[in-house]
């Protein structure tokens, strides 16, 4: 039996295949029938290019509906989809091509000459282009191909994709994701969020990342739903198009930017079924401000490249700000002592390493057995690197990243605890707490703030406000004000950039 994601999608097609699968704001796009035909044509083109089952197909293109067709076609051809952040350049790309050894590299038309150079050096056999206007050499091959394709059968454990982790330290690791991983996670999300063929998702996320590619596309596909596809995130356009959809999946930045729009009101979202947030922490303030303004509680969920989605706040039931909800069906979650090599469970309520196990957990890092063994335990639990706890109602709360944890004078300090307090101070828009080398303490707790327009608090005011609220060892040694926090495309604060910027603060 074919256990590929696409075979599973085939079981959930809407009864009316003329129903839209992807629509663009200008009215173009693909119905479900178009999608079946187009992915067949793409799959024939891949086979013609010599792509064999198990081969990697590296893709670095601008977002377009055709990219989704290519993704699905790669799965139908039994190959492994390898999406690359469109921001990667020369040396970075070289690393991915050398490491993954794809048989085909699909790039944006404007990048073709460089891509060919890189491909030659890395020994990639074929380079094709795909433009965001449905153009490019790959499209030329696709046109005229048969509209039916006999899918290559896959087992649940066969690889469907390799996604390189952003890797703020060291080399990027290729997370190997199987068909079984994708199917189980999409099923869990369709169930948890009750996605149906009636749903319309506003899709404004990049599709080289798990959130926009798997969480959004796979779960909608698995329910026969529809997507309104924006080529990039534009908050004014998003607000304008909201009336056409009932579902939004976003990173926290979407919600903070929406809150800046005077047009965001109860009336503007009255028709919406669900707002979902993930990929980075949604602050309790944003959650609260959004529900005050719109009457809707954002549903926050938690996941990562290696595991797909792990937890979600409930669809029915209280969505608690600052928490990521309950483990999804099939996902086992435990909290262990990060200081112990052997898994050592911590008592309920105590923060420790979040570990997860289930059909969602990846197959290991591509050609890095030692790294895999460091993070994937013998009993199947994956050490997420996130620090969190489970409260007495069972909600999971994330306190920070393990590598984010500051050790100051021998004491562990979790930045999120401070950031939550700092964010509530008058004049503070947002904050990031980092550890930087300190001659006395090893690491000095350092608060970096973005201040409001006309009311930057002084260092003394901030320190005074924290005094008494936090143990002495957790209090920042210095408070620095910056214009904006550095963020990556998924909205994650790049603390490594801040640590670099302030590395000499105490020397």
Q: Rule CB under 6 A: which residues touch ligand AMP? A: 165-166, 210, 278-281, 300, 302-305, 324, 384, 386, 398, 401, 490
**Would strands 274-277 and 308-312 be described as parallel, antiparallel, or unpaired?**
unpaired
Minimum distance between the CB of residue 205 and ligand AMP, rounded to whole angstroms? 11
Tokens of 144: 């005229």
Closest distance to ligand AMP from the beta carbon of 175 (Å): 8
Per DSSP, the three-state class of 367 is coil
Nearer to ligand AMP, 73 or 162 (CB): 162
Cβ proximity to ligand AMP, 247 vs 490, nearer residue: 490
User: In whole angstroms, how close is the CB of 17 to ligand AMP at the nearest point?
Assistant: 33
Could you tell me the smallest distance in angstroms from the CB atom of residue 44 to ligand AMP? 33
Question: Quick one: 233 or 473, whose CB is closer to ligand AMP?
Answer: 233
| Least distance in angstroms from the C-beta of 279 to ligand AMP | 5
Minimum CB distance to ligand AMP smaller for 39 or for 431:
431
Taking alpha carbons only, the member of 399, 254, 250 closest to residue 322 is 399
Work out how close the CB of 461 gets to ligand AMP at its nearest, in angstroms, rounded to a whole number. 28
Strand, helix or coil for residue 27: coil
Check if the beta carbon of residue 345 is closer than 8 Å to that of residue 334: yes
Least distance from C-beta 272 to ligand AMP, angstroms?
20
Distance of alpha carbon 482 from alpha carbon 480, whole angstroms? 7
In the three-class reduction of DSSP (H, G, I as helix; E, B as strand; rest coil), residue 99 is classed as: helix
Chain centroid, CA 452 distance in Å = 29
| Nearest C-alpha neighbor of 111 from the set 74, 65, 60, 63 | 60
CA-angle at 53, arms to 47 and 59, nearest 5°? 70
Return d(Cα 187, Cα 219) in angstroms, integer.
Answer: 7
Q: Which is nearer to ligand AMP, 172 or 384 (CB)?
A: 384
CA distance 74 to 39: 9
Nearer to ligand AMP (CB atom), residue 78 or residue 364: 364
Of 280 and 405, the one with the shorter C-beta distance to ligand AMP is: 280
Smaller CB separation from ligand AMP, 32 or 302: 302
Q: Taking a C-beta distance cutoff of 8 angstroms, is the pair 497, 465 a contact?
A: no
Secondary structure of 382-433 in HEC code, one letter for each residue: EEEEEEEEECCCCCEEEEEECCCCEEECCEEECHHHHHHHHCCCCCEEEEEE
DSSP-based three-state secondary structure for 299: strand
Provide the minimum distance between the beta carbon of 12 and ligand AMP in the complex, in angstroms, as a whole number. Answer: 25
């Amino acid at each position: 039996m074919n256990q590929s994601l696409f075979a599973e999608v085939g079981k959930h097609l809407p009864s009316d295949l003329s129903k839209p699968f992807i629509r663009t704001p200008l009215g173009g796009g693909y119905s479900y029938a178009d999608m079946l035909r187009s992915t067949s044509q793409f799959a024939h083109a891949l086979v013609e290019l010599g792509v064999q089952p198990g081969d990697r197909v590296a893709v670095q293109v601008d977002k377009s509906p055709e990219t989704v067709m290519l993704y699905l076609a790669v799965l139908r051809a039994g190959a492994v989809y390898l999406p690359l952040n469109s921001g990667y350049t020369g040396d970075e790309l070289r690393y991915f091509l050398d490491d993954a050894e794809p048989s085909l590299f699909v790039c944006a038309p404007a990048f073709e000459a460089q891509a060919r150079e890189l491909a030659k050096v890395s020994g990639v056999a074929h380079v094709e282009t795909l433009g965001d206007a449905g153009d490019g050499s790959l499209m030329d091959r696709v046109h005229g191909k048969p509209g039916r394709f006999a899918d290559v059968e896959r087992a649940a454990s066969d690889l469907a994709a390799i996604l390189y982790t952003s890797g703020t330290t060291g080399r990027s690791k290729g997370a190997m994701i199987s068909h079984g991983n994708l199917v189980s996670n999409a099923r869990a999300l369709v169930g948890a969020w009750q996605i149906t063929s009636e749903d319309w998702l506003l899709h404004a996320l990049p599709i080289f990342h798990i959130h926009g590619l798997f969480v959004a596309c796979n779960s909608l596909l698995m329910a026969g739903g529809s997507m309104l596809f924006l080529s990039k995130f534009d908050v004014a356009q998003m607000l304008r198009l909201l009336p056409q959809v009932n579902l939004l999946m976003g990173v926290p930045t979407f919600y903070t930017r929406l809150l800046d729009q005077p047009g965001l009101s109860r009336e503007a979202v009255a028709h919406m079924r669900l707002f979902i947030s993930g990929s980075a922490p949604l602050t309790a303030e944003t959650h609260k401000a959004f529900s005050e303004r719109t009457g809707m509680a954002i549903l926050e969920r938690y996941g990562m490249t290696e595991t797909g989605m792990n937890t979600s706040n409930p669809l029915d039931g209280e969505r608690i700000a600052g928490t990521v909800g309950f483990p999804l069906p099939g996902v086992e979650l435990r909290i262990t002592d990060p200081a112990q090599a052997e898994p050592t469970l911590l008592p309920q309520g105590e923060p420790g390493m979040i570990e997860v196990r289930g059909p969602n957990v990846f197959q290991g890092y591509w050609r890095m057995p030692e790294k895999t063994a460091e993070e994937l335990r013998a009993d199947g639990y994956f050490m997420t690197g996130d620090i969190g706890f489970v409260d007495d109602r069972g909600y999971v709360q994330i306190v920070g990243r393990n590598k984010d944890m500051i050790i100051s004078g021998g004491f562990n300090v979790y930045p999120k605890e401070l950031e939550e307090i700092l964010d509530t101070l008058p004049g503070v828009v947002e904050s990031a707490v980092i550890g930087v080398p300190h001659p006395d303490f090893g690491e000095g707790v350092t608060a970096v703030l973005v201040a409001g327009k006309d009311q930057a608090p002084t260092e003394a005011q901030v320190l005074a406000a924290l005094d008494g609220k936090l143990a002495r060892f957790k209090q920042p040694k210095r408070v620095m004000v910056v214009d904006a926090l550095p963020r990556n495309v998924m909205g994650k604060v790049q603390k490594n950039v801040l640590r670099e910027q302030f590395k000499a603060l105490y020397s």
